[in-house]
Amino acid sequence: MRIDNTAAIVTGGASGLGAATAAALAKQGARVFVLDLAAGSADGEDITYLTTDITDGAAVEAAVATAASCGAPLRTVVNCAGIAPSMRILGKKGVHDLALYAKVVQVNLIGTFNVLALAAEAIARTEADEHGQRGVVVNTASIAAYEGQVGQAAYASSKGGIVGLTLPAARDLAQYGIRVCTIAPGIVETPMLATVSDEFRAGLAASVPFPQRLARPEEYARLALAIIEHDYLNGETIRMDGALRMAPR
């Protein structure tokens, strides 16, 4: 599927994976709409920031309508927004906070589904290309969906839900010419890691078989673009982790 002269939505695009993906899409000629609670800098690219809570149906519906009415067909959605708090099911301070568990699932899984569903509705109204394609949705899971560590019960649950969503979503939307894939990144050098020490980061990098370093947001963006442009990728979750399999802690 072509990217140039189309519209794209990127959630969580003010920083990290989303920012790299928004920039990459804009560089390829897409009109990009970033849905995020935080402000971002477009750096001269064709990127519009829409302050949006992805768990709010009405807010997402309005943002999707803005993207769909920009004059270019809405073809792409990349869901990067998410949170990753840590808490053990039973720890020194007691049982896992239920409200925190619900919030992680609400943002990471339900928020992703909310954007996917509402954007798919708009994409389905566009004219298909010569191959019957209308669009593609790329969601973001994590290798924690498969090897969640100590303290990641909520996060792993939410990301496992995204993996489980991928195939039925692809099957549901196939009749409209919309593909759905998921990327499951390993340890990526994002703002989430900015607060940890260089020594800790080096230890994380050393756990990756090869290449023995942290992944870069730009590598996620390149994979997302490859999925968008590869018409036969559908219903699949792709690990991007340097062959890393997470230990319990």
Q: What is the dihedral of CA 167, 168, 172, 175, to 10 degrees?
A: 30
**Which entry of 49, 101, 146, 155 is annotated as an active-site residue?**
155
- Count the neighbouring beta carbons within 10 Å of the beta carbon of residue 110: 15
> How far is Cα 189 from Cα 201, in angstroms, rounded to an integer?
9
> How far is Cα 199 from Cα 213, in angstroms, rounded to an integer?
13
Bridge partners for 243 per DSSP: none
> How far is Cα 156 from Cα 126, in angstroms, rounded to an integer?
35
DSSP-derived secondary structure letter, 190: S
> How far is Cα 128 from Cα 130, in angstroms, rounded to an integer?
7
Task: Please count the residues of the chain.
Answer: 249
Residue 155 annotated among the catalytic residues of the structure? yes
| Contact indicator for 112, 150 with CB cutoff of 8 Å | no
| Contact indicator for 186, 207 with CB cutoff of 8 Å | no
User: What are the residue numbers of the active site?
Assistant: 155
